[in-house]
Amino acid sequence: MAPPAVRPRAAHPVGYLLGQRTALGVFTLFVVSVLVFLATQVLPGNAAIAVLGRTAAGNPAAVHRLEVALHLNLGLLDQYWTWLSGLLSGHVGHSLANGQPVWGLRRA
């Protein structure tokens, strides 16, 4: 009878633990980002109508232009990918309230 197989030990248990925790943290951030994105999609209306307020009802062309600018005319996966790729590349967009870059507002 052959001896039982012995699992090789990790080269360094602390390195293994750090790698495991980092992977779990990245996965958690991904899941939370998907949940928050989907929660905003369930809300009634869209951001373009909310930004334009009362002027949205009388100006469908302005609503359409803002929807294109905010990528609301894309599908859900494309919208999420646009947001996530912008976030990972450091291009987080402009504030809807004052038009300033969000990255500059964060530093202030």
> What tens digit of pLDDT does each residue of 82-92 get?
989 988 898 88
Residue 89 in domain: yes
Residue 83 in domain: yes
Gap between the Cα atoms of 48 and 55, Å rounded: 11
Q: How far is CA 72 from CA 21, 25, 69, in A?
A: 35, 29, 8
Give the chain's domain count.
Answer: 1
Residue 43 in domain: yes
pLDDT for 30-55, tens place per residue?
A: 999 999 999 988 888 888 888 888 88
State the pLDDT confidence band at 8, using cuts at 50, 70 and 90.
Answer: low
State the pLDDT confidence band at 77, using cuts at 50, 70 and 90.
Answer: very high
